Amino acid sequence: MTYPNDGLFTETRTVGDCSASLTIVVLETEQTDSIVVIPTEVTMPLGDTQLFLICPINQFGIAVDTCRETFRATQIGDTTVEFDCFTMTASALAHVLPYSAVNLALHKPTATSGYENVGTKPENATDGDLNTRWGSRFLDDEWLEVDLEHCYILDSMRIYWEAAYATSYEIFVSQDAITYESVYSTAAGKGGVVCFPITASGRYVKLVCHARSTGYGSSLYEMEVYGSGRCDSPETGLINDQSPMTNYKFLYNGQIYISRNGIIYTVDGRMCLHAQE
């Protein structure tokens, strides 16, 4: 049978003295009304790559599928990146800067040995907001680690300590989160904003706070990491990304969210780090 529109339809059939009815639910045909890119805007260093998710949205406001494209920055300045997905076109804005001007840890996934409360979670140390902070448990040797998501040639770091700073701390760098190399340490930490050089190549950067300045935990507003390039060879343009898929969609409090490499976004591309709290 063909039905003219969506809704409930009852079909009745009679054979001899027997009659039976069946109610059929006809749903509206799914249509792609719009398309969004996640993230919609990104700041990245020259020569680096950025994975974008391109999500078609149906008439019910739900992301129905996902295309993936990886963009490599080839020139300094603002670039509008165009994508084609499901016969529709979408775009994102890439701000491309020299490596020395880009905080490689910004919005990257973090891990920690522990934190004081829900207001001092580890992701606060890489959110770019100096009004939020990571605060450890009230213990020595607590640590905070950032996954830069690629291997970089690293040359310096900047830490914005809160009043409860570490007097003795050490920086470790790793390629695989298994084997670590110590690249910087001090036993005379003064707190405040500190900048120091490091010489290393790696993907994971770990801060270990060996001793505290107070009876509270070790606490910092932001941990920034800087470098001079990627460890791999440069490429140009849109490239095939063979990295493992670490993206998924989920429903929370009646809203659809998309997780990309540990960061939560709404379906219109806005970052929402705490959607699952």
Residue scoring higher pLDDT (204 or 230)? 204
Tell me if 44 is assigned to some domain.
Answer: yes
> Do 71 and 173 belong to one domain?
no
Residue scoring higher pLDDT (24 or 123)? 123
What pLDDT, on a 0 to 100 scale, did the predictor assign at position 125? 98
Tell me if 239 is assigned to some domain.
Answer: no
> Do 167 and 123 belong to one domain?
yes
> Do 85 and 128 belong to one domain?
no
> Do 154 and 183 belong to one domain?
yes
Tell me if 24 is assigned to some domain.
Answer: no
> Do 170 and 151 belong to one domain?
yes
Positive or negative, the CA dihedral 36, 39, 41, 44 is negative
Encoded amino acid at 109, one letter: P
SS3 of residue 100 by DSSP = helix
CA-closest candidate to residue 157, choices 149, 166, 146: 146
Q: Cis omega (within 30 of 0) on the bond before 39?
A: yes
**What are 71's two structure tokens?**
């963009």
> Do 129 and 46 belong to one domain?
no
- Mean pLDDT is highest, among 67-76, 160-169, 244-253, 260-269, for 160-169
* CA distances, 268 to each of 57, 104, 237 (Å): 9, 25, 25
> Do 79 and 172 belong to one domain?
no
- How do beta strands 88-97 and 41-45 pair? parallel
pLDDT at 52 over 80: yes
Tell me if 40 is assigned to some domain.
Answer: yes
Tell me if 3 is assigned to some domain.
Answer: no
> Do 81 and 120 belong to one domain?
no
What pLDDT, on a 0 to 100 scale, did the predictor assign at position 65? 72
What pLDDT, on a 0 to 100 scale, did the predictor assign at position 104? 94
What pLDDT, on a 0 to 100 scale, did the predictor assign at position 273? 43
Categorize the per-residue pLDDT at 244 as very low, low, confident or very high, splitting at 50, 70 and 90: very low
Tell me if 47 is assigned to some domain.
Answer: yes
Tell me if 236 is assigned to some domain.
Answer: no
Q: What is the mean pLDDT of residues 106-116?
A: 95
pLDDT at 234 over 50: no
> Do 112 and 218 belong to one domain?
yes
Residue 261 is classified by DSSP as: T
What total number of domains does the chain contain?
A: 2
Domain that holds residue 162: 103-230
Encoded amino acid at 160, one letter: Y
CA-closest candidate to residue 146, choices 99, 196, 95, 111: 111
> Do 58 and 176 belong to one domain?
no
